Chain A
Amino acid sequence: MQLAIFAARKTPWDIIGENFTLLAAALLAFASVVVVLFLVAGRATVRAQEWLKYLVFLVPALLLLLVGLIYPTIRTIIFSFMDAKSENFVGLDNYVWAFTIPEILVVLRNTAVWVFLVPFFSTAIGLSIAYMTDHMKRPNIIKSLIFMPMAISFVGAGVIWRFMYYFEPNENRADIGLLSAIVKSFGGTPPNWLLESPGNTYLLIAVMVWIQTGFAMVVLSAAMKNVPDEIVEAAMLDGATPIKRLFRVTIPMIRATLVVVLTTIIIGTLKVFDIVRTMTGGNFQTNVIANEMYSQAFRQMNYGTGSALAIILFVAMIPVIIYNIRQLRLERTER
Chain B
Amino acid sequence: MSTIRSRFVAIGATAIAASLVLAGCAASDEETTTAGGTTDTGDATVAGCEAYAAYAGNEGADVEIYTTIIDPEASLFIESFVEFEECTGITINWNGTQEFEAQIAVRVEGGTAPDLAIFPQPGLLASFSDSLVPADADLTSSVDANYSPDWKTYGTADGTFFAAPLGANVKSFVWYSPKTFADNGWDIPSTWAELLTLSDTIAAEGNVQPWCVGIESGGATGWAATDWMEDLMLRFQDGETYDAWVDGSLPFNDPKVAEVLAEAGKIIKNPDYVGNVQAIATTSFSAGGAGVVDGSCAMHRQASFLGGILVGDYGATIVTPEDTDVEGGITTFYFPGVSADNKPALGGGEFVGRFTDSAAAAAVQLYLTTPEWNNAKAALGGWFSANKGLDTANVADPVNKVAVEILQNATLFRFDGSDVMPAAVGAGTFWTEMTAWVAEDKSDKAVLDAIYASWPY
Contacts and interface: CB of A to CB of B under 8 A. Distances in A.
Q: Do chains A and B touch in the complex (CB under 8 A)?
A: yes
Interface of A: 1-9, 11-13, 16, 84, 101-103, 167, 169-170, 192, 194-197, 281, 283-285, 294-295, 297-302
Given A7-B39, A13-B27, A301-B424, A285 B440 contact: yes
Interface residues of B, number: 60
A1 B46 CA distance: 9
Contacts of B42: 5
B35 A9 contact: yes
B251 interface: no
What are the 9 A-B residue pairs with the smallest beta carbon separation, nearest first? A9-B37, A8-B37, A169-B279, A298-B105, A169-B276, A6-B89, A7-B39, A300-B424, A3-B49
A13 to B, nearest CB: 5
Given A1-B53, A301-B127, A301-B424, A197 B86 contact: no
A299 B426 CA distance: 10
Given A6-B85, A281-B219, A301 B34 contact: no
Given A1-B50, A11-B30, A192-B282, A283 B221 contact: yes
Contact of B56 (A3, A7, A284): A3
B15 interface: no
Dominant secondary structure at the A interface: loop
Nearest to A9: B37
Interface string B201-220: 00000000000000000110
A245 B30 CA distance: 65
Contact of A192 (B38, B278, B435): B278
B75 to A, nearest CB: 13
B271 to A, nearest CB: 11
A257 B147 CA distance: 70
A170 B294 CA distance: 14
Given A12-B26, A299-B101, A195 B59 contact: no
Contacts of B453: 101
A299 B279 contact: no
Contacts of B169: none
B436 interface: yes
A192 B280 CA distance: 11
Contact of B282 (A167, A170, A197, A300): A167
B32 to A, nearest CB: 11
Given A12-B23, A84-B456, A285-B440, A6 B86 contact: yes
A13 B30 contact: yes
A9 B439 contact: no
Given A1-B50, A6-B85, A297-B105, 4 more contacts: A8-B36, A9-B35, A169-B276, A299-B105
B262 interface: no
Nearest to A15: B23
Nearest to B34: A11
A7 B62 CA distance: 12
Contacts of B310: none
B389 interface: no
B45 interface: yes
Interface of B: 23, 26-27, 30, 33-42, 45-46, 49-50, 52-53, 56, 59-60, 82, 85-89, 91, 101-103, 105-106, 109, 127, 218-219, 221, 275-276, 278-279, 281-283, 423-424, 427-428, 432, 435-436, 439-440, 450, 453-454, 456
Nearest to B81: A8
Contacts of B86: 5-6, 8
Contact of A6 (B59, B283, B427): B59
A208 B276 CA distance: 29
Given A9-B37, A102-B450, A281-B218, A4 B282 contact: no
A197 to B, nearest CB: 6
Contacts of A101: 453
A11 B30 CA distance: 7
Contacts of B276: 169, 192
A149 to B, nearest CB: 21
Contact of B281 (A84, A170, A283, A302): A283
B432 to A, nearest CB: 6
A28 to B, nearest CB: 15
Given A4-B59, A11-B34, A301-B105, A284 B50 contact: no
B45 A5 contact: yes
Contact of A283 (B34, B49, B439): B439
Contacts of B89: 3-4, 6
A301 B41 contact: no
Most chain B CB inside 10 Å of its own CB: which residue of A3, A84, A195, A300:
A3
Contact of A9 (B27, B34, B49): B34
B374 to A, nearest CB: 22
Contact of B450 (A5, A103, A281): A103
Given A1-B53, A281-B218, A169 B283 contact: yes
B33 A2 contact: no
Contacts of A196: 278, 440
A12 B33 contact: yes
Contacts of A301: 105, 127, 423-424
A102 B447 CA distance: 12
Contacts of A7: 37-39
Nearest to B438: A195
Given A3-B56, A8-B36, A299 B427 contact: yes
A195 B423 contact: no
Most chain A CB inside 10 Å of its own CB: which residue of B35, B102, B439:
B439
Given A192-B278, A192-B279, A283-B436, A9 B36 contact: yes
A3 B23 contact: no
